[in-house]
Structure 1
Amino acid sequence: MKNALVRCVAVDDEPLALDVISAYVAKIPALTLVQTFDDAIAASEFLRTTAIDILFVDINMPDITGIDLVRSLEKKPLVIFTTAYKNFAYEGFQLEAIDYLLKPIAFDLFLKAVNKALDFMEYKNQAKANLEESLYVSSEYRLIKINLRDIEYIESLEDYIKIHVTNAKPILTLLSMKKVLEKLPSTQFKRIHRSFIVPLAKVTAIQSRKAQLTSGKELPISDSYISFIQDWNQKVS
């Protein structure tokens, strides 16, 4: 995907900000800037009829905000918010933005955000044909890539889930257990309790209705997910 031509649009009511983004895009061979807009309403009309890959959009604009612009799009491109204000970060997080860049934007941070977008596009394309090897979730206002092999287990915390990973702090994300299961390969990850999902490969033993993990952690297996024991026995037999 990084060798393909990725179509971009920039929206900002400040001409200088558009000049900066245009100059930065020109430095990245994989990108092409299809159009720039200093009017969010005109940008919205264009985006409803034109498919693009990445949208660079300011948040605090007259008429409609960048947040409202993104929300209004039926088919959303990957979004990188650009703004001078920090207080909109949570809204960007809810919309699963790839990144959130504060002005003035340094080129190295711009490039880092673009590379995350390109990686995510590659991930989505590969997932259509191959077994997924990673999971992307929004955490701390950023899109985080998690290698599936590093997941120890997933814990439910009401509206959030906590993804426990090897040799790193847990990752907290606003996602339901049902939604995260839809993102994971069903042959590799199983729910064993209303509060826990485990990778089959990390379960070393089952004793007293508890799954023992390679990390030494023990998690309960509830009556509703008792079929997990059979699934695990088939895998190890």
Structure 2
Amino acid sequence: MINCIIVDDEPLAIQLLESHISKIESLKLIGTAKNAMDAYKILQSTPIDLMFLDIEMPDLNGIDFLKSLHKKPKTIFTTAYREFAIEGFELEAVDYILKPISFERFFKAVDRVLRKNTATKEEGEFIILKSGGLNKRILLEDIVYFESCGNDVKVIVKDNTSIIAKDKISELDMLLSQKGFVRVHRSFLINSQFVTAFNNDELMLGKYSIPVGRTYKKEVDEFITDFSKKKIN
């Protein structure tokens, strides 16, 4: 979870950013501030990972405020003015977004933070899936299998929870076939790391029994051969 704050003196700009933030599960909005002094109080009281910072504000502008901070959170500048872009990037801002801010542009900026955060923590790769109106970030190593459900997919994760995502299993197969995932049935794409037992007709992923489709026998046979060699070694 990434703790973030919004620093902006425009109520409508704050409302828009709050809406965008609410759609990304990995972001937790700690608070909002209408000026630099209020933002400073939040930063002193709570660990903040990411700051959405306006530039044109009363008393102290966003550029000077960021310069004044001894410990700087990752910062995405949100402004209506292009002329501050160079100075913003000199302060090593993650991104510089011009208002009005679309969700697509907002998500592109936040995704940079998510990926940097993952690398910092030395976590594995992840996928972002749309579910329940949110863009959910799920580590590949946590996914047990995908199951096709009409035009959606059910995603089973290792803590025994599941989500329904707006995606197609065929597209996930193409995306994840080089990441340890194996298509074993027209309705099932499994994470090979969770296989605990198998026979000609099914694969066991812990307590889950996954059928082997007739047209996917070749892929499953190749997987079983590699799987058995790894176990021997």
Which structure 1 segments of 5+ residues have no match? 3-13, 38-51, 59-65, 71-75, 80-96, 99-113
**Structure 2 residue aligned with 1:36, among 59, 80, 87?**
80
Residue equivalent to 1:189? 181
Matched, 1:151 2:143: yes
CA RMSD of aligned residues (A): 3.9
Contact 1:135/1:183, CA 8 A, preserved across alignment: no
Q: How many angstroms does 1:178 deviate by? A: 2.0
SS of residue paired to 2:12: helix
Do structure 1's residue 236 and structure 2's residue 228 form an aligned pair? yes
Q: TM-score, normalised by structure 1?
A: 0.53
Aligned residues: 160
Shift of 1:185: 5.1
Alpha-carbon contact 1:136-1:145 (below 8 Å) kept: yes
Could you tell me how far 1:223 is from its partner in structure 2? 1.6
Q: How many Å separate the matches in 1 of 2:73 and 2:159?
A: 36
* 8 Å CA contact retained: 2:80, 2:99: no
CA distance in 1, matches of 2:98, 2:151: 29
Question: 1:189 offset after TM fit, Å?
Answer: 0.3
| Partner amino acid, structure 1, of 2:79 | Q
Pairing 1:138–2:182 present: no
Partner of 1:174: 166
Cα distance in 1 between the residues matched to 2:99 and 2:198 = 50
Contact 1:22/1:33 (<8 A) preserved? no
Match of 1:218 among 205, 209, 212: 209
Aligned to 2:105: 77
Determine the C-alpha separation between the residues in 1 that align with 2:112 and 2:33. Answer: 15
- In the TM superposition, residue 153 of structure 1 has moved relative to its aligned partner by 1.1
| Greater displacement, 158-167 / 173-182 | 173-182
Please, which runs of 5 or more residues in structure 2 have no aligned partner?
A: 3-8, 15-31, 36-51, 54-61, 67-71, 82-93
Shift of 1:32: 4.4
Question: 1:233, CA displacement in angstroms?
Answer: 1.9
- State the 1:163 CA deviation: 0.5
Higher Cα radius of gyration: 2
TM-score (norm 2): 0.54
Deviation at 1:54, TM superposition (A): 7.0
Counterpart contact for 2:77–2:97, Cα < 8 Å: no
Letter of the 1:30 partner, please give it.
Answer: K
1:118 correspondence with 2:118? no
Deviation at 1:17, TM superposition (A): 2.6
Contact 2:148 2:169 in 1 (8 A): yes
The 1:163/1:15 distance shift into structure 2, 3 A limit, reads same
3-state DSSP of counterpart to 1:201: helix
Q: Work out the CA distance in 2 between the residues paired with 1:169 and 1:229.
A: 29
What SS is found at the alignment partner of 2:203? strand
- The residue correspondences of 1:18-97 to structure 2 (distance < 5 A) are 18=13, 23=35, 24-25=52-53, 26=62, 29-33=73-77, 35-36=79-80, 53=95, 77-79=105-107
CA distance in 1, matches of 2:105, 2:130: 16
